[in-house]
Amino acid sequence: DQQVKQNSPSLSVQEGRISILNCDYTNSMFDYFLWYKKYPAEGPTFLISISSIKDKNEDGRFTVFLNKSAKHLSLHIVPSQPGDSAVYFCAASGRYGGSQGNLIFGKGTKLSVKP
Amino acid sequence: DSGVTQTPKHLITATGQRVTLRCSPRSGDLSVYWYQQSLDQGLQFLIQYYNGEERAKGNILERFSAQQFPDLHSELNLSSLELGDSALYFCASSVEAGGSYNEQFFGPGTRLTVL
């Protein structure tokens, strides 16, 4: 039972355009969401996060939007650059019985930004 | 560079064997997490240690075990290896014991190949 879902395994975008990566979750007890970026042969790198009390968090070219009623979050990258080409993982955590606040990851979306 | 180190980077072994993966957390981090990433899968949480004590267990097989030492480095022991254990194993660390608002920082991973 996947609690965090990234339904698009891959996404291709032209350089300079917006990249939108989507993530859905099922557990309403999640209250913190994170995005990680992963290059081949490297570990995931923390990118940006958002708590459930917010609906938007921005850091430079990266913005994460949270829609709690839809249990959906998205990562916007504007403008997209070739160096953004990587696999992006959505993760969630929450303080509820048995969770210990551990991160639950989606399967990732591979973003390709073409020059 | 996340500050989390893992050794070895690659490990090739045979079925039935036992291996030990090592992780050193970021300076100051007390929590260590182990994850497994199989082909086309997201990161699956295995186990967490906080300041030397087991904090949470995820999808960890009984053939696998871990510990965290007084200097806070951690080892993941995999025994009676099977072909299906071939995967990337990541270690992550964080300051807190767990819970929300707690970013985890990942090491570069150990690629285990079981032949």
CA distance A24 to A4: 6
Q: Could you give the CA distance from residue B47 to residue A67 in angstroms, rounded to a whole number?
A: 30
Joined tokens for residue B32: 């260590």
Of A41, A49, A102, the CB nearest to B48: A102
Q: What does the pLDDT look like over B5-23, one tens digit per residue?
A: 999 999 999 999 999 999 9
pLDDT tens digits for range B95-106 = 876 655 678 899
For residues A28-42, average pLDDT: 91
Q: What percent of chain A lies above the pLDDT cut of 70?
A: 93
Chain B contact set for A89 (CB, 8 A)? 42-43
- Report the pLDDT value the prediction gives residue A100, as an integer from 0 to 100: 62
B contact test, residue of A103, A104, A107 with most B CBs within 10 A = A103
Q: Is B41 part of the contact surface with chain A (CB cutoff 8 Å)?
A: yes
* pLDDT at A98 (0 to 100): 54
Task: Tell me how crowded residue B58 is: count the other CB atoms within 10 A of its CB.
Answer: 16
State the best of A102, A105, A110 to mutate against chain B, taking most chain B CBs within 10 Å: A102
Tens of pLDDT along B25-61?
999 999 999 999 987 677 899 999 999 999 888 889 9
B102 touches A at CB < 8 Å = yes
The residue among A71 and B100 whose pLDDT is bigger is A71
